[in-house]
Amino acid sequence: METRWLYVTSQELEQLRDKTGGVCVIPYGAVEKHGLHLPLGTDILQAEHYAYQASKVEPVCVFPGIPFGDMSCGHPTTAPGIISIPMETNFLLLEQLCDQIARYGFKKILILNAHGGNYAWLTAFLEQLGNKKKDYVVVMTQTFMVKTYRELLDTVANSPSGTVPELTAEDEAALKRYYDEKIPTGHGCLTETARLMDIAPGSVKLDRLGIESGKHHHRTDKFAAAGIEIRDDGWWEDYPNNYAAEKDPVDATETIGRALNRMAIERIANAFRVFKEDEDLLRRQNEKWNG
């Protein structure tokens, strides 16, 4: 069954609505630099891929992806290609798109977010929307980058070789090193690099690694120690190269990416299922406004 909004006819959209229980997913990303080795569309490429692949497991309608996330014009980067639009535009656009989606009978809308910088404003968007009378409900989930990375490292480090079917012996050895050295995930890191090698292999340029540093610059440590909150936890100050990797992802492979992507798709499909089966959120919201 075709699940993508843009690939069905008007008549088929009505059938898709009925077959998916009126659930529509909006993939959300950003257009930004991910080091020198990953494409500007890294986030939206992941969000769209996961939404579509997970919809094959748990059918939902997949809306066209929105690439323009939180890339405030005030951030210090000067990297070419970053797209910044005012935050009020994001709020207005998303609400009006949700209104249109609901107009066609999709009363359950799930935002699948693949850009960490979107989390704060999307949470605020949900709060704002909750104070308006709507006949639909909107929720949000993430692409589980950190959870799948940690789960994969734990599995490889504590299970027999071959437990993760996608991995080669070389992959397992590399991941065990990451586990032993407690290397975190980041931005343009092993996780995102491997994911993109599976999703869009021609877009990854491993030969560009080593030119810029992805290490933490610790510029905001004094503020954190004093309990002072900075936008995005000071990310733009601490990672001025738009690249966060304590170790350059030279060990990234398509097979590691395939394993990480499978794990993410399984989690996302489960989120779709839980949201689809729930009958209370929308009912209680309607009761709140209609009595």
Output b/e per residue, 188-219; b: 16+ Cβ within 10 A. bbbbbbbbbbbbbeeebeeeebeebebbbeee
Q: What pLDDT is recorded for position 198?
A: 99
Termini Cα distance of the chain: 38
- Indicate whether 291 belongs to any domain: no
Q: What pLDDT is recorded for position 234?
A: 86
pLDDT at 73 over 60: no
What is the pTM assigned to this prediction? 0.95
Query: In this structure, are 124 and 26 located in the same domain?
Result: yes
d(CA 90, CA 73): 13
d(CA 143, CA 154): 19
Query: In this structure, are 121 and 179 located in the same domain?
Result: no
Query: In this structure, are 210 and 99 located in the same domain?
Result: no
pLDDT at 76 over 70: no
Residue ranges making up the domain that contains 110? 5-143+266-285
* Relative orientation angle of helices 169-180 and 145-158, to the nearest 10 degrees: 110
Query: In this structure, are 164 and 62 located in the same domain?
Result: no
Q: Do residues 145 and 191 lie in contact, with contact meaning Cβ atoms separated by under 8 Å?
A: yes
Query: In this structure, are 156 and 42 located in the same domain?
Result: no
pLDDT digits (tens, 9 = 90+) for 157-188: 999 999 999 999 999 999 999 999 999 999 99
Query: In this structure, are 126 and 159 located in the same domain?
Result: no
Domain harbouring 71, CATH code: 3.40.50.10310
Query: In this structure, are 16 and 130 located in the same domain?
Result: yes
Query: In this structure, are 247 and 274 located in the same domain?
Result: no
Q: What pLDDT is recorded for position 286?
A: 87
Confidence grade of residue 69 (pLDDT, cut at 50, 70, 90): confident
- DSSP-derived 3-state class of residue 25: strand
- Indicate whether 290 belongs to any domain: no
Query: In this structure, are 155 and 215 located in the same domain?
Result: yes
